[in-house]
Each structure stands twice: as C-alpha cells, then as structure tokens.
C-alpha cells in the first residue's frame, strides 16, 4: 500500500518527521478531474482544488502527457541558454492580457512571484526618479509567507512571533471594501467602494513614506474570504495610481488563469496594472509562477538584476504550463468558470435560504465564499461552526477550504472543468453536510 512505498507505516510516526504540519487525515493518494481518493479507497469531491491550483482538474490527461513527454526530453535547461518553452509560454500569457502586459519572469511559487514583482517595481522607481519606495497594500490581503510577501500580507495573525522577518520598511496597509463587514459603516455597496477609494487617497496624502512607488493587491481578496470589491473600486484606484505614478501590481496568484470567468480577475474592471503576478493554476500541479510587466516597466531590470535556478529553466513546469493553457483554450474553461460559478452561486443562495447560519454568499466565477455567522442580524463570525461544517462535509465526501479574516468563511476554488452534473451532485452532498452542522 502507499505507506510501504513512502517508508512511513503510520501517520503518527510520519508526523515526527515534519515541521509543524497542519495537515489532517485521511491520507489522499490519487486524483482524477474533480475527485480525489484516500488510501482506504473513499472518494471525495475536491472543491478546494489546491486551493486554486487545479484549473484543469487532477491529472488532466493532456497535462500529464505533456509532463511525461518533457520529463523524457529535458527537465532543466542549462541556465545560460534560451528556452523556447519559456519564451512561448510568456507570449501566450501576454496574449491573455491582450498584450497590455508583455514581459514575463518565471519563478516557482506565488510568494516568489510577488517578491520579484516588488523588486522590479523598486528598480523602476529608481530609474524613473521616484522620491520614495513606499508600498501600499490592503488589510486582509494575502501575498505569501516569505519575508517580503509576509510583510505585504495584511493579516497580523500570520506575522506574530516573527519580528523583523515579517516587516518591511515603507509598507502601509489600507482598508479594502469588504461590504458584508464594511469598516466604514456603509449602507450601500457603492458607498463602501467610494469610502475605500478615499482611504487610498488619504494614505497617499497623509501616510506616504516619501512617495509610494507601488500598490500591490489581490483584485479579489481570495484567502481572506473571497472579498469581491464593488464595481466602483478598482477603476478609481487604478486612476489614482496613474495620477500619482504609483505602479499597480495585481496579485492574481489565486484568482488568475480564468478562475473568475476572465483570464485575469482585474479585467472585470477594465484596469491595466503595470505588473500582474500568477502561480498556482499555471503549473497544473507543478510549482510554477511568474510576473508579467508592461514593456516599459520590465525594462527597468537589467541583465542579472534578477535570477532563479528553476523559473524559466524548469522545462517540465513550463511544458505543463503550455498544456494547461491548451486545455483552458480547447475546453473553453474561462467561459465555463463563469457559467459554473453562476450555477454554484445560485445553488448556494438557495441553501442560504434554508440555513440561517450562512450569512453571506459571494464570489465571481469559481472562487466562492460562504460566510458562517451566529445569526444573520448580528453577523457575529462563527469560526468554530465553519470548522464543524468543513468536517461534516468531509464525512459527506466534499473537500472545502476555510479562510477569511475571522476564520469563518467556507472557501471553494474547484477545477474549472467541473460539469453541471457534478455541481448538482455536490450540491446535494453540501446540503447534507450543512444539515448535519446546525
Ligand atoms: N498570493 C495569493 C493571492 C495567494 O493566494 C497565495 C497562496 N495562497 C500566494 C500569493 C502565495 O503563493 P505560494 O503559496 O505559491 O507562495
């Protein structure tokens, strides 16, 4: 059985060899499409999907085939030489931005993508004569757990105990438009958006360390509870950034590559960031990420300003990236994400009517959040109940994530390949899991 192959007879023993593992049982051993199977042979619908990694599902035959073929051809290109796979994938990603962003730097993960994007924006600030290196970011935003990305992350709980590792000079966090729990006390979506826009203006006026060189943000805040901003937010923030020569970096590590029903989520609002970061879905399950910048900004990096051993040399990851984009195109997964997302949201709204502890249902395409509360009026976050629901759903054969600023949001980011029949089936299982919970 899998245990023998892995030299680990029991989970109890295996845990002695891992640093601070937060994983749980059962032990998953294989996956296909939307399903995964544990070592006892039980199957589950994986609505977490990585999270956000498995745009093309578990082990899509085209992705697997591309990986196998490339593994037999060349795994790592000698670093000094051009790679057709890298150049070709960069061109295809640029096409997904309609050419608005042009040049790509490939890395291994989301945190590295954000780290590199900020480094590039710093260099651009230097060459363009900015009088400051300040960084605007959003409270509740998540940008990774390496030192700089953790400093950009607007979740204090993740920084506790790490001293200067989790801070970086000049980072200022502003309040995002989180309408369900609007910190500005707004009554309407539009007002919430306008107040959050004003918060950006105020930060630039009153809190800039010298000048802000850049703003980094998730267009839709994913990990911290799928916070979809009102439509008036991003167009105005992008305008403010432009007026103040602040480079906008869109962190699309979670919501990019078609997940929200557009190639990149920022495209819902017609804005054009200077840099867009991506990871997760592009590798189809292999570690691959990157950032794509406008031609002008990208040229701030001179040769050898930035490098990484894998990145554009990791031929297997890049081959997987091509296969992922092939599948997204051939199976029209961007359109599918929009349609499947609407179907799921509609179903969840129906469930919300039956279960008063579901306070809010929100999402765009196939990134969906359900906020679990003590009661609808008070909206008090119910993190413990969210965990109970997660456990009960597992018993019913459904895997979801739990996230959010208060740890009370049921979070889903399934494969974009999910069919209507699978959605209908999983919704029935979901109803059962909710009914068991409260
Ligand atoms: N940015 C966002 C928006 C993310 O959701 C994540 C991962 N959840 C990261 C960055 C970090 O990516 P990684 O775990 O690959 O470093």
Residue for token pair 């030299």: 7
Quick one: 208 and 278 in the same domain?
yes
Domain end: 315, 330, 345, which one?
330
The CA–CA distances, whole Å, from 82 to 79, 108, 183, 297, 384 equal 8, 18, 50, 22, 52
Q: How many CB atoms lie within 10 A of CB 1?
A: 9
Q: How far is the CA of 411 from the centre of ligand 1 (A)?
A: 15
Backbone angles phi, psi at 408, to 5 degrees: -120, 20
Q: Where are the beta strands (DSSP E) in 267-419?
A: 275-278, 289-293, 358-364, 367-372, 398-399, 401-403, 409-412
Instruction: List all residues 6 or more positions away from 192 whose beta carbon is below 8 Å from its beta carbon.
Output: 177, 178, 179, 182, 184, 186, 230
Cis peptide before 26 (omega within 30 of 0): yes
CA 219 to ligand 1 centroid distance, Å: 13
Distance (angstroms) between ligand 1 centre and the Cα of 84 equals 27
Query: On the CB side of 149, how many CA atoms lie within 13 Å of its CA?
Result: 18
Q: Tell me which residue has tokens 């031609």.
A: 295
Q: How far is the CA of 172 from the centre of ligand 1 (A)?
A: 20
Domain boundary among the residues 308, 330, 352 is at: 330
The span from the CA of 352 to the CA of 329, in Å, is 34
Specify the ligand 1 atom closest to the Cα of 112: 16
CATH number at residue 368: 3.90.1150.10
Longest Cα pair distance anywhere in the chain, in angstroms? 62
Residues 116 and 256 in one domain: yes
Q: Which one of 55, 111, 273, 403 would you pick to mutate in the ligand 1 pocket, going by the greatest count of ligand atoms within 8 A of its CB?
A: 111
Residues 296 and 247 in one domain: yes
Using the mean position of ligand 1's atoms as its centre, give its distance from the Cα of residue 316 in Å.
Answer: 21
Mutate which of 52, 53, 141, 142 for ligand 1 pocket (most atoms within 8 A of beta carbon): 142
How far is the C-alpha of 72 from the C-alpha of 82, rounded, in Å? 19
Q: Are 86 and 217 in the same domain?
A: yes
Q: Which of 51, 147, 280 to mutate to test the pocket of ligand 1 (most atoms within 8 A of CB)?
A: 280
Rounded distance from Cα 152 to ligand 1 centre (Å): 12
Q: Are residues 196 and 269 in the same domain?
A: yes
Residues with C-beta less than 6 Å from any ligand 1 atom: 109-111, 114, 142-144, 218, 222-223, 251, 253-254, 279
DSSP state of 281: G
The DSSP line for 146-188 is SHHHHHH---GGGTTT-GGGG--TTEEEE----GGG-TT--SS
Q: Using the atom order of ligand 1, give the atom closest to the CA of residue 51.
A: 8
Residue 201 has phi, psi (to 5 degrees) of -60, -45
Q: What is the pLDDT along the chain (438 residues), one digit of tens a residue?
A: 444 567 877 888 888 899 987 888 999 999 999 999 999 999 999 999 999 999 999 999 999 999 999 999 999 999 999 999 999 999 999 999 999 999 999 999 999 999 999 999 999 999 999 999 999 999 999 999 999 999 999 999 999 999 999 999 999 999 999 999 999 999 999 999 999 999 999 999 999 899 999 999 999 999 999 999 999 999 999 999 999 999 999 999 999 999 999 999 999 999 999 999 999 999 999 999 999 999 999 999 999 999 999 999 999 999 999 999 999 999 999 999 999 999 999 999 999 999 999 999 999 999 999 999 999 999 999 999 999 999 999 999 999 999 999 999 999 999 999 999 999 999 999 999 999 998
What's the rounded Cα separation, in Å, for the pair 153 and 139?
7
DSSP class of 227 = B
Domain count, the chain: 2
What is the residue with the minimal CA distance to atom 10 of ligand 1? Answer: 143
- Burial group, residue 287, by CB count within 10 angstroms (0-12, 13-18, 19+): middle
297-313 pLDDT, tens digit per residue, is: 999 999 999 999 999 99
Other beta carbons within 10 angstroms of residue 77's beta carbon come to 17
- Give the tens place of pLDDT for each residue, 152-193: 999 999 999 999 999 999 999 999 999 999 999 999 999 999
Q: Dihedral sign, CA of 264, 268, 272, 277?
A: negative
CA of residue 158 to ligand 1 center, whole Å: 13
- Shortest-distance Cα residue to atom 12 of ligand 1: 110
Q: Does 47 share its domain with 82? A: no
Instruction: Specify the ligand 1 atom closest to the Cα of 109.
Output: 15
> ω into residue 294 within 30 of 0, thus cis?
no
Q: Which atom, in ligand 1's list, is nearest to the CA of 279? A: 15
Of the residues 299, 330, 361, which one is the last residue of a structural domain? 330
CATH of the domain at 214: 3.40.640.10
Q: E strand or H helix at 239, and its extent? A: helix 233-243
Residue 278, by phi and psi: left (phi above 0), alpha (psi -120 to 50) or beta? beta
Whether residue 374 contacts residue 21, with contact meaning beta carbons closer than 8 Å, is answered with no
Q: Are residues 308 and 432 in the same domain?
A: no
Residue span of the structural domain in which 15 resides: 5-58+333-437
Whether residue 88 sits in one domain with residue 211: yes
Residues 388 and 244 occupy one common structural domain: no
Check whether residue 147 and residue 285 sit in a common domain: yes
* Residues 47 and 126 grouped into a single domain: no
What's the pTM value of the predicted model, to 2 decimals? 0.97
Q: Helix 233-243 vs helix 189-206: angle between axes, to the nearest 10 degrees?
A: 20
What separation in Å is there between the alpha carbon of 120 and the centre of ligand 1?
18
Specify whether 263 is located in the same domain as 318: yes
Which pair of structure tokens corresponds to residue 306? 């930035």
Distance 67 CA to ligand 1 centre (A): 23
Q: What CA–CA distance (Å, rounded) separates 416 from 284? A: 12
């Amino acid at each position: 059985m899998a245990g023998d192959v892995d030299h680990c007879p029991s989970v109890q023993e295996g845990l002695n060899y891992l640093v601070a593992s937060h994983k749980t049982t059962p032990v998953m051993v294989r996956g296909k499409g939307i399903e995964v199977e544990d070592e006892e042979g039980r199957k589950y619908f994986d609505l977490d999907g990585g999270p956000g990694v498995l745009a093309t599902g578990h082990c899509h035959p085209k992705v697997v085939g591309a990986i196998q073929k490339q593994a037999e051809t060349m795994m790592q290109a000698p670093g000094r030489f051009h790679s057709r796979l890298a150049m070709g994938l960069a061109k295809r990603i640029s096409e997904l931005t309609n050419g608005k962003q042009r040049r790509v730097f490939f890395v291994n993960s989301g945190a590295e993508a954000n780290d590199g994007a900020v480094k590039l924006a710093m260099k651009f600030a230097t060459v363009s004569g900015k009088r400051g290196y300040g960084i605007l970011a959003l409270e509740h935003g998540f940008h990774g757990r390496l030192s700089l990305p953790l400093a950009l992350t607007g979740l204090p709980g993740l920084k506790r105990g790490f001293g200067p590792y989790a801070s970086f000079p000049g980072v200022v966090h502003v309040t995002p438009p989180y309408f369900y729990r609007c910190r500005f006390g707004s009554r309407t979506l539009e007002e919430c958006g306008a107040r959050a826009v004003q918060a950006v203006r105020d930060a630039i006026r009153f809190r800039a360390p010298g000048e802000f060189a850049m703003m980094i943000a998730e267009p839709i805040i994913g990990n911290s509870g799928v916070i979809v901003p009102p439509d008036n937010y991003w167009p105005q923030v992008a305008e403010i950034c432009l007026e103040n020569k602040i480079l906008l970096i869109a962190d699309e590590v979670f919501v990019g590559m078609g997940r929200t029903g557009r190639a990149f989520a920022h495209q819902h609002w017609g804005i054009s960031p200077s840099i867009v970061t991506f990871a997760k879905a592009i590798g189809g399950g292999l570690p691959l990420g990157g950032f794509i910048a406008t031609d002008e900004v990208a040229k701030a990096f001179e040769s050898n300003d930035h490098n990484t051993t894998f990145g554009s040399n990791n031929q297997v990851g890049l081959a997987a990236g091509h296969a992922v984009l092939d599948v997204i195109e051939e199976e029209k997964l961007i359109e599918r994400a929009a349609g499947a997302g609407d179907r799921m949201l509609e179903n969840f709204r129906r469930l919300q009517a039956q279960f008063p502890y579901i306070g809010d249902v929100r999402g765009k395409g196939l990134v969906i959040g359900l906020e679990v509360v003590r009661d609808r009026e008070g909206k008090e976050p119910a993190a413990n109940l969210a965990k109970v629901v997660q456990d009960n759903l597992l018993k019913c054969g459904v895997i979801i994530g739990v996230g959010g600023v208060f740890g009370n949001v049921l979070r889903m980011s399934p494969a974009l390949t999910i069919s209507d029949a699978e959605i209908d089936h999983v919704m029935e299982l979901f109803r059962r899991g909710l009914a068991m919970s409260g």
